[in-house]
Amino acid sequence: MQRVHIHARDLRIVDPLLSYPSAILGRDRAIVLNLEHIKAIITAEEVLLRDPLDENVIPIVEELQRRLPPVNSNRENQTDGSEFPVDAAEEDESSFEFRALEVALEVICSFLAARTTELETAAYPALDLLTSKISSHNLDRVRKLKSAMTRLTARVQKVRDELEQLLDDDDDDMADLYLSRKLAGACSPVSASGPPNWYPASPTIGSISRASRASMVTGRGDENDVDELEMLLEAYFMQIDGTLNKLATLREYIDDTEDYINIQLDNHRNQLIQLELILSSGTVGLSMYSLVCGIFGVNIPYSWNQDHGYMFKWVWIVTGIVCFSVFIVIVAYARHKGLVGS
């Protein structure tokens, strides 16, 4: 807290044990950053990262080391007088905090875009396989992919909402992220003779890189100029919005597949109902045949059974014809009403 001049409530945002939404907060001397697995505090001269040895954080550490070389090494090159190629960070006149913020946004957007590509690679073949063969294994696989897509969409949406909120805020809120400009204003002779200084000088001002100093000089012209930050945020907002659009397209494809599967299941259900109707009609006919057989098969002596044995075959034939006719009539009526397909 003494080193970066922030409150304790800001440290809770970067606490991994607490669940806080994505946030990019501007303070007097620092930018508090909480984007997915990247939890950092950015000042005008250094970047403080949590868990730098984590496998997901290592890429941003390497990128920060590449784009923001140590200031001492640059000074040694100057004092030695040796000729070295100018580093990309030296050519970039953006302030230190914006270059660090750009690295963080780039890594986060690339990370989410890579997760989206992996999900698309696994989801589209699984959905196509499900449409060709509906099975419990394929359904469970698609269910897991849909759950993963929902979680990833929520993560991308949080980052997008934070960037959109920064872009929608007024210029004063965005101006709070210009740490080098505020630091330059606190150290300038004009500010010493002018209004009271709300931003005390940092004890490590001498370690600020030359690029940061250049941005301080150019930033004194207009304290309300936030075009640099606005262009930076808009670029990565469009990138994260494209990732969100890919997930939305995937969701639509999943919804279309679900509708197709439901249509197939409804069709199979209708076929089962038609089969049940045909079997029920056949059961009615056999029940009538069994009824006649049961009547004539009763072991009770009666007078009209004598000398009429030849009638057995006619009763059997007539009963069979009548039962089959009843079955045909029921099926024809169901077909006429559209209950059975052609």
Please count the other Cβ atoms lying within 10 Å of the Cβ belonging to residue 93: 15
Q: Residue 231 contacts by C-beta under 8 Å, 6 or more apart in sequence?
A: none
**Residue where the block lists tokens 């959109």:** 164
42-53 pLDDT, tens digit each: 888 888 888 888
Most confident of 127-131, 172-176, 276-280, 283-287: 127-131
β-strand pairing of 38-43 with 47-49: antiparallel
Tokens 């690295």 belong to 103
Residue 220 tokens, joined = 């004194």
Q: What is the pLDDT of residues 276-330, one digit of tens each?
A: 888 888 888 888 878 877 777 666 666 655 666 666 777 778 888 888 888 888 8
Q: Specify whether the CB–CB gap between 48 and 40 falls below 8 A.
A: yes
**Direct distance between the N- and C-terminal alpha carbons of the chain, in angstroms, rounded to an integer:** 80
**pLDDT tens for residues 263-280?**
988 888 888 888 888 888
β-pair partners for 41? 32, 48
342 pLDDT band, cuts 50/70/90, is: low
Give the predicted TM-score (pTM) of the model.
0.68
Q: What is the pLDDT of residue 152?
A: 93
> What is the mean predicted confidence (pLDDT) over 67-84?
51
- Report the C-alpha gap between 169 and 106 in whole angstroms: 22
> Which candidate, 80, 36, 71, 87, places its Cα nearest to that of 57?
36
Q: What single-letter amino acid sits at 235?
A: A
Q: How confident is the model at residue 187 (pLDDT cuts 50, 70, 90)?
A: low
* Of residues 121, 125, 112, 110, the one with CA closest to residue 152: 112
Question: What strands, in cross-sheet order, belong to the sheet with 47-49?
Answer: 23-26, 30-35, 38-43, 47-49
Of 28, 20, 26, 37, which Cα lies nearest the Cα of 198?
A: 28
CA distance 122 to 147: 13
Residues 342 and 328: their CA atoms lie apart, in Å, by 14
What separation in angstroms does the CA of 199 have from each of 32, 39, 167, 181, 315?
A: 17, 24, 25, 11, 112
